[in-house]
Amino acid sequence: MNNNTQESKIQLEYINKCTELVKEKYKKAPAFFIQNAGCQMNSLQTDTVAGIVKRMGYTEVSREEDADVVIYNTCTVRENANLKIYGHLGHLKSIKKKNPELKIVLFGCMMQEPEVIEKIHKEYSFVDLVFGTHNFHKFPELFYRSLNTEGQIIDVWKESDEIVEGMPSDRKYSFKTGVNIMFGCNNFCSYCIVPYVRGREKSREPEAIIEEIKGLVADGVTEVMLLGQNVNSYGKTLEHPVTFAQLLKQVEAIEGLKRIRFMTSHPKDLSDELIRTMAESKKVCHHLHLPMQSGSSRILKIMNRRYDKEKYLELVAKIRNAVPDISLTTDIIVGFPGETEEDFQDTLDVVEKCDFDSAFTFIYSKRSGTPAAKMENQVPEDVVKDRFDRLLALVQEKGRKASSRFEGTVQEILVEEESREKGIFTGRTEYNLLVHFPGCQDLIGKYVKVKLDTCKGFYYFGSLAE
């Protein structure tokens, strides 16, 4: 593995070259529009690209119509995500007719699909620059080429074993941020396209992660979210293997850091060591996102999840025993090929037993190239829809009940922003529960105690307790 800082130097030079070019090209500061799709790892890369174009002299705008550059970071985990991008492109075509100088940039997971690239090349020739997940770090260089070219540039790599450190980024909040600890996925759940578009699992060196977080803390960050498709297998492929729990302890030792979160945990790799670390730590938040996907052992086997219903329930019991106040959330897929009513009842049963604080529910989406896409027994749409509605009703009812356990208590929250309603601010408890309360601007980025007065289902209305 090559943790290449030389490459980031080259790219920083390209940023400077672009800055000069932009100064020559535009009389006043040009504008960019950027949109993110997909998971938090994508969102972090969106922040990096936004940070880079800002350095080049662009200012951010909130409408495509006002932009000189429109950038979409794409996701392809479900078909819907792709359809949305094609919809946006239709809209952009008409904007570009009026403003032929407009640059359109697409990158991210969807661009790793050969059919997508073919379609963009043939039907969307007005898109200027396309790159993928493996050459993401080349963005400044590619953008420089695009600024100097009229035609379409498509540069998508099949694989890369490089992790490029030290790229500039622009975070949304000054006091909290995500930090990638690994890239890619080796699990090949049979429904999932991520391993195909993100490539093999690669962990960053712990030293690089710690150094980055120390830098962030020095710059005002007090909460980090460590990100990976399966953080529980962090470090296994490093030259000197490190477990995720060991990494957490190193992060915990960073002075000035107050809260540590992580995402996502695969149940098959969740170790006792990690549970113990969560229980003992003063900084790791008591919130665990533990995607179950299905409650049926039969379906879980075909999904290639490598745990069954009993193992999942045992794991939840073990976690609750060690960390009694834990907040648990999950992901569930409905309508996986061959799912019967009996299988679905198992899913409902697990939801009934686990008391999740919330659950993301998804209708199974067929992704080409995955083993599940070739399965013949796809479930009819009306059956899936009916199951989905029943699941959602149960998830919401249980979620409301679970969240209401905090009613009347005083909790510490990190204040994030003013809500749409003036004078009402929002923040999150360590359990990741959103709280709205009357406050003031000075509180943003601070930890304050609030009394959770009224549970509104998935959030609270509270009042300052100090």
Q: What is the CA radius of gyration of the chain?
A: 23
Number of residues that bind ligand SF4 (CB under 6 A): 10
Site string for ligand F3S, 102-141 (x = CB under 6 A): -------x--------------------------------
Strands (E), 145-264: 153-155, 162-164, 176-180, 182-183, 202-203, 223-227, 259-263
Nearest to 438 by CA among 449, 456, 455, 424: 424
Stretch that binds ligand SAH, among 40-48, 94-102, 361-369, 394-402 (CB under 6 A): 361-369
Annotated binding site: 39, 75, 109, 185, 189, 192
Per CB under 6 A, contacts with ligand F3S among 32-51 are: 38-39, 41-42
Strands (E), 335-420: 358-363, 410-418
Instruction: Show the tokens assigned to 442.
Output: 């000075």
Angle between helices 40-55 and 139-147 (to 10 degrees): 50
Nearest to 7 by CA among 134, 126, 123: 134
Annotated binding site for [4Fe-4S] cluster: 39, 75, 109, 185, 189, 192
CA pair distance 206, 82, nearest whole angstrom: 35
Residues 6+ apart with CB under 8 A from 152: 121, 125, 127, 128, 129, 130
Q: Do 207 and 165 meet the contact criterion of CB atoms below 8 Å apart?
A: no
- Smallest distance, Å, CB 80 to ligand F3S? 11
CA 152, chain centre distance (Å): 29
Contact between 316 and ligand SF4 by CB under 6 A: the answer reads no
- Smallest distance, Å, CB 369 to ligand SF4? 12
Residue 75 binds what, of ligand SAH, ligand SF4, ligand F3S, none (CB under 5 to 8 Å, by partner type)? ligand F3S
Pairing of strands 287-289, 410-418: unpaired
- Smallest distance, Å, CB 136 to ligand SAH? 18
Residue 38 binds what, of ligand F3S, ligand SF4, ligand SAH, none (CB under 5 to 8 Å, by partner type)? ligand F3S
- Smallest distance, Å, CB 77 to ligand F3S? 4
Stretch that binds ligand SAH, among 29-37, 138-146, 189-197, 271-279 (CB under 6 A): 189-197
Residues of this chain that bind ligand SAH (CB under 6 A): 77-78, 191-192, 194, 229-230, 264, 266, 291, 293, 331, 333, 362, 364-365, 367
Residues of this chain that bind ligand SF4 (CB under 6 A): 185, 187-189, 192, 194-195, 229-230, 266
